[in-house]
Amino acid sequence: EYIRSYYYNKLEYTRFSSSVGKYVGFTEYGVKNAAAWNNNPSILSRAKAQKEACCLHNIQIDYNNMLTKS
């Protein structure tokens, strides 16, 4: 699962979760940002592509490292 969180003053206001597939806001400001970002196809598709770029590329490497260490 790919999660990208946005914080201000140690308070999470917006999060993208690949399992949900969209941005979710936790504060009034975060809800406004999430709505704007979810309505913009380029921002949403870029966030979804980050899962493939970050997670799927490294999962086999990380998995193999864990198996050899245990």
Instruction: Kindly report the CATH number assigned to the domain that includes residue 17.
Output: 3.10.320.10
What's the pLDDT score for residue 16? 96
Tokens of 40: 């913009």
Distance CA 65, CA 55 (A): 15
Q: Is the model's pLDDT at 30 over the cut of 90?
A: yes
Domain residue limits at 63: 3-68
In contact, 16 and 47? CB cutoff 8 Å: yes
Per cent of the chain over pLDDT 90 is 60
User: Structurally, how many domains does the chain consist of?
Assistant: 1
